[in-house]
Amino acid sequence: MKITAADVVVTSPGRNFVTLRITTEDGLTGLGDATLNGRELAVEAYLREHVAPLLLGRDAHAVEDTWQYLYRGAYWRRGPVTMAAVAAVDMALWDIKGKAAGMPVYQLLGGACRTGALAYGHASGRDIPELLDSVREHLADGFRAVRIQSGIPGLDSVYGVAASAAGDGDRYDYEPARRTGTAHPRPTEETWDTRAYLRHMPTVFEAVRHTFGPELPLLHDGHHRMTPIQAARLGKDLEPYDLFWLEDATPGEDQGALRLIREHTTTPLAIGEVFNSVHDYTTLLQERLIDYVRSAVTHTGGITAVRKLLDMAAVYGVKSGMHGPTDISPVGMAAALHLDLAVHNFGIQEYMRHAPDTLEVFRTSYRFEEGLLHPGDAAGLGVELDDAAAARFPYEPAYLPVNRLRDGTVHDW
- Report the C-alpha gap between 159 and 4 in whole angstroms: 43
Please, which residues have CB within 8 angstroms of residue 370's CB and are 6 or more apart in sequence? 142, 144
225 and 404 Cβ atoms separated by less than 8 Å: no
User: In degrees to the nearest 10, what's the CA dihedral of 304, 309, 313, 315?
Assistant: 70
Distance of CA 138 to the CA centre of its chain: 19
- Report the C-alpha gap between 130 and 126 in whole angstroms: 6
- Report the C-alpha gap between 69 and 3 in whole angstroms: 15
Instruction: Give residue 331's region: left, alpha or beta (phi > 0; psi -120 to 50).
Output: alpha
Strands 117-125 and 349-350, by their bridges, are parallel
User: In degrees to the nearest 10, what's the CA dihedral of 154, 409, 124, 122?
Assistant: 180
One-letter amino acid identity for 146? V
91 and 31 Cβ atoms separated by less than 8 Å: yes
- Report the C-alpha gap between 358 and 386 in whole angstroms: 10
Based on the number of CB atoms within 10 Å of its own CB, is 356 exposed (0-12), middle (13-18) or buried (19 or more)?
Answer: exposed
Catalytic residues: 159, 223
